[in-house]
């Protein structure tokens, strides 16, 4: 009889990863739970949130009767994720540290630890996503040798594993997985891919996992928590006072502590003004933030952007895009926003132009444009340049 497959499951102390581990256990696998400590900080009550989460993750493993490990990636997180986050803000961009964390911490550091140190046959997480492989096919990946050398992609026939949207389209988290390397994806199970969040909570309730059920959903950037964003950033970056200027008549409306604190589309808190104004452009050289009245002002809308080099989940651009240099698909640049129909144009250097079928509100450099074809997530590229706004075009 074959030994039970060993699956190493990331456990965060939340309900999703707890139920993922439970379901793997039910499938008859040998499961090890691993808690990743990526950030050490105190919440607003002076309690270390990572300690509390670790405690909850440990209790999950006790209830499920599986071994528990914890690993610290605080140094890697600081160097690879947080430094990049600050760097991007300093340049006036709007980064997405969750996408970068999945790419560099969960699906690199954790993945390598699970495979090399714990001898995992596969890894698993509590993400709401699916792949094109059945469990048994995932376990077989272990034995498929990866071709070495410069020209491997030109000659090998290697069916890339697809990243597919979750059955629960509202909870779908492929957006956050859009930079995950193929090598790790091939050996990853997503036990929640076919389930709704409500059903996951029901499973938790029926299996003595009440302590994780009562926890609040973690939303927003993990290392900021409930703190004021501006105050948090100014602990790390020097204030650079500047002016709020109306895009319509160049009138100075007020002052701010740093142009990098604002992202395009957000409401600008300008003292003494009753009406809301919204950030539409930033002038880094002068330190000015340009604002417009109304949340639907045409200066907030654009239909063209250019990304950096795209990370394709399949490692290569889609065949149709290579063949025709253009391709219709959909994209989003925020989690849970509606998918936007667009046309991609492939550039020689691996970057793409994205032309949205209709102008979208509040595109910002630094965000990731994540591409979809049907229910397949193709990958993503960081937005580096924006075309002119509808307002600029109207003014001619």
Active site residues: 101, 222
Residue 47 burial (C-beta neighbours within 10 Å; 0-12, 13-18, 19+): exposed
How many angstroms separate the CA atoms of 66 and 30, rounded? 8
Task: Considering only CA atoms, give the Rg of the chain.
Answer: 23
How many angstroms separate the CA atoms of 41 and 290, rounded? 34
Task: Please provide the DSSP assignment of 230-280 as one string.
Answer: HHHHTTTS--B-EEEEETTT--EEEEESBGGG--TTSEE--TT--S-EEEE
How many angstroms separate the CA atoms of 128 and 294, rounded? 35
Reference 336, options 199, 169, 165; nearest CA is 169
H helix runs in the chain, sequence order: 15-26, 49-64, 74-76, 83-90, 97-101, 111-112, 135-140, 152-155, 182-185, 197-206, 210-213, 229-233, 319-324, 390-395
Structure tokens at 317: 């651009």
Structure tokens at 134: 């059945």
CB 282 within 8 A of CB 290: yes
Output the CA–CA distances (angstroms, integers) from residue 157 to 78, 147, 153, 179, in the order listed.
38, 10, 8, 22
Q: At how many degrees (to 10) do helices 15-26 and 197-206 cross? A: 70
Give the chain's length: 396
* 376 beta partners: 164, 373
């Amino acid at each position: 009889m074959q030994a039970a497959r060993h699956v190493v499951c990331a456990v965060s102390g939340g309900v999703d990863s707890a139920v993922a581990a439970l379901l793997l256990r039910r499938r008859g696998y040998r499961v090890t739970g691993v808690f990743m400590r990526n950030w050490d900080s105190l919440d607003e009550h002076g309690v270390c949130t990572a300690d509390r989460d670790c405690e909850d993750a440990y209790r999950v493993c006790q209830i499920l009767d599986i071994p528990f490990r914890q690993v610290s990636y605080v140094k890697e997180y600081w160097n690879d994720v947080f430094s990049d986050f600050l760097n991007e803000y300093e340049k006036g961009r709007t980064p997405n540290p969750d996408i970068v964390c999945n790419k560099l911490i969960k699906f690199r550091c954790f993945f390598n630890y699970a495979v090399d140190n714990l001898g995992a046959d596969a890894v698993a997480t509590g993400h709401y996503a699916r792949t094109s492989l059945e469990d048994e096919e995932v376990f077989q990946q272990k034995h498929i040798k990866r071709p070495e050398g410069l020209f491997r992609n030109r000659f090998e026939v290697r069916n890339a594993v697809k990243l597919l949207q979750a059955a629960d389209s509202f909870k779908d988290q492929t957006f956050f997985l859009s930079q995950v390397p193929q090598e790790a994806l091939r050996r990853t199970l997503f036990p929640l891919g076919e389930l709704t969040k409500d059903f996951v909570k029901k499973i938790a309730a029926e299996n003595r996992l009440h302590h994780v059920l009562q926890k609040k959903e973690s939303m927003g950037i993990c290392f900021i928590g409930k703190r004021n964003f501006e105050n948090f950033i100014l602990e790390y970056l020097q204030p650079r006072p500047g002016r709020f200027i109306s895009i319509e008549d160049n009138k100075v409306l007020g002052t701010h502590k740093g142009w990098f604190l604002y992202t395009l589309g957000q409401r600008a808190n300008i003292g003494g003004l009753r009406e809301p104004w919204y950030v539409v452009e930033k002038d880094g050289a002068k330190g000015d933030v340009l604002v417009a009245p109304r949340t639907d002002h045409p200066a907030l809308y654009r239909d063209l952007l250019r990304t950096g080099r795209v990370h394709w989940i399949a490692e290569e651009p889609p065949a149709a895009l290579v063949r025709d240099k253009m391709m219709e698909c959909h994209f989003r640049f925020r989690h849970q926003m509606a998918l936007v129909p667009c046309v991609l144009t492939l550039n020689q250097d691996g970057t793409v132009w994205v032309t949205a079928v209709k102008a979208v509100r509040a595109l910002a450099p630094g965000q990731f444009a994540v591409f979809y074809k049907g229910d397949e997530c193709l990958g993503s590229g960081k937005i580096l340049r924006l075309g002119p706004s509808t307002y600029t075009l109207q003014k001619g």
